[in-house]
Amino acid sequence: MFDVNAAAMLSAPIAVGLAGIGPAIGIGMMASHYFDSVARQPDVQGAITPQFFITLGVVELLGLFGFVAFYLVFSKIFV
């Protein structure tokens, strides 16, 4: 017995979880290197903070694609 709705409801949270792995690792590495470099050379903080946030935005977008899949599936089921 295969229930399509149940499979779809299972797939949506899995998509969010799997999509979160990569950006989580990426943002973690990015932030750790950011803190390392600021601790080593506090002068550069003003120069690299904007770059940090640009990269944060770019990396974070990848995590949101999982939520896009979640949203598409759930708006199909519950509408």
Partner 1 sequence: MDHFWQLSFGDGLVVNANTIIMAWAAMGLLLLFGWWTTRNLKLIPSVAQSAGEGVYNFCRSITFSTGGEKADGYLFFVGSLFLFILLANLMGQLPLKLFDPIIPTGHLMAATGDINTTAALAIISLVMYIALAIKRTGIKGFLTHHLHPSPLFLPMNLLEHITRPGSLLIRLYFNILVGEILSGLAISIMPYVIPAFVVFLELFVAVVQAYIFAILTAVYIALMTETHDEH
Which residues sit at the interface with partner 1, rule CB under 8 A? 46-47, 50, 53-54, 56-58, 60-61, 64, 67-68, 71
Of 34 and 71, which CB lies nearer to partner 1 in the complex structure? Answer: 71
Q: Tokens 């950011």 identify what position?
A: 34
Supply the minimum distance, in Å, between the C-beta of residue 67 and partner 1.
Answer: 5
Tokens standing for residue 66: 């999982």
Cα separation of 18 and 66, whole Å?
7
Of 4 and 79, which CB lies nearer to partner 1 in the complex structure? Answer: 79
Of 1 and 46, which CB lies nearer to partner 1 in the complex structure? Answer: 46
Supply the minimum distance, in Å, between the C-beta of residue 61 and partner 1.
Answer: 5
Cα separation of 79 and 72, whole Å?
11
Cα separation of 79 and 73, whole Å?
10
